[in-house]
Amino acid sequence: MGTVLSELSAAMAALVELAGESIVRVEGRRGRPASGIVWSAGGEIVTANHVVSREEGLVVGLPGGDKIEARLLGRDPAADIAVLRASATGLKTPAWLPVEEARVGHLVLALGRPGRTVQATLGVISALGGEWRTPEGSLVERYLQTDVVMYPGFSGGPLLGADGRVIGLNTSGLARGVSLSLPAATLQRVVPMLLAHGHIRRGYLGIGAQPVRLPEDIAGQLGQETGVLLMSVEPGGPAASAGLTLGDTLVGLEGAPIRHMDDLMAALGGDRIGQPLAARVLRGGKLQEMRVTAGERP
């Protein structure tokens, strides 16, 4: 038994040492360094957005101990992802593990570099789920929760599988008291957009809304029980310009049912900006077809 444990211990230490070559320290907020993952050999770093509270004076601590300046390339606060570029070349990138290969109960290591050296904590994947949206509406491909202890400065660091591949990016900025990781698929979708545009383009109607139960006859006709009731309409916004008004209930957009706010956010992707969209609205107990041109969320 002792030999087995010794071999396991040595293997885990070797994984941490190897993975540490792709982990940097991120100094993006006063007095509280965090971690980042090397995204490209040319100096692109992905980290958690909430640990980058300033846009100037950013510093990255490299695995070899050097400290170099960095600049912010883009951020997505809704997904808690930020991308930096450090003035370095020849950095080592990690291998990524598709979350589909992960299972509840798999051993994982959460790594960080809030100081000069890599720190690690061991745990298991405690929950896996399907697509979900963050509190600010960003799509995450899979819900990935662990029981690892998120020590200060671990946000932005990697969640490591038992084979040494990175499953996701750790963050304590999306849910209080829960250790979540953004899966590789989310990073691989969001980071290129941040590199291209500096932000994530999202559609916008200029409304405040909440789910509401539909009248029984309308629900039967549509095959859905709820829509979203317009509680406010921004003057001059896309919805107001299209003639939507307070008290309307939006039940469909471009042929997709709108039952909850998640449906509305999903229907307003960046490709819908500037596009006239077919909106189905319940007004005064009657269904109406309208056209609304989506704007870009500020």
Q: Is residue 1 scored above 80 in pLDDT?
A: no
Statement: residue 50 has pLDDT above 70: yes
The CATH number of 1-200 is which of 1.10.10.10, 2.40.10.120, 3.20.20.70, 3.20.20.140?
Answer: 2.40.10.120
* CATH H-level, domain 203-296: superfamily: PDZ domain (2.30.42.10)
Mean pLDDT of 188-192: 96
**Active-site annotation holder among 155, 172, 179, 181:** 155
**1-200 with 203-296: one CATH topology?**
no
Residue 217 among the catalytic residues = no
Output the pLDDT for position 2.
66
- CA atoms 280, 281, 287, 291: torsion sign: negative
Query: Annotated catalytic residue: which of 22, 35, 76, 80?
Result: 80
Query: How does DSSP assign 217-279, residue by residue?
Result: HHHHHHT-SEEEEEEEE-TTSHHHHTT--TT-EEEEETTEE--SHHHHHHH--GGGTT-EEEE
- Identify the H or E element spanning 7: helix 2-19
Q: Is the pLDDT of residue 108 over 70?
A: yes
Q: Is 90 exposed, middle or buried (0-12, 13-18, 19+ CB in 10 A)?
A: exposed
Choosing from 22, 50, 76, 181, the catalytic residue is 50
Domain boundaries defined on the chain: 1-200, 203-296
What is this structure's pTM?
Answer: 0.83
Amino acid 200: pLDDT = 87
Is 67 exposed, middle or buried, given 0-12, 13-18 or 19+ CB atoms closer than 10 A? middle
pLDDT > 70: percent of the chain: 99
pLDDT digit string, tens, across residues 233-288: 999 999 999 999 999 999 999 999 999 998 998 888 888 899 999 999 999 999 99
Q: Would you tell me how many other CB atoms lie within 10 Å of the CB of residue 160?
A: 27
Task: Give 93's Cβ-side CA count (13 Å radius).
Answer: 12
Q: Is 155 a catalytic residue?
A: yes
Determine the pLDDT at residue 156: 98
- Residue 199 designated active-site: no
- Residue 136, pLDDT score: 80
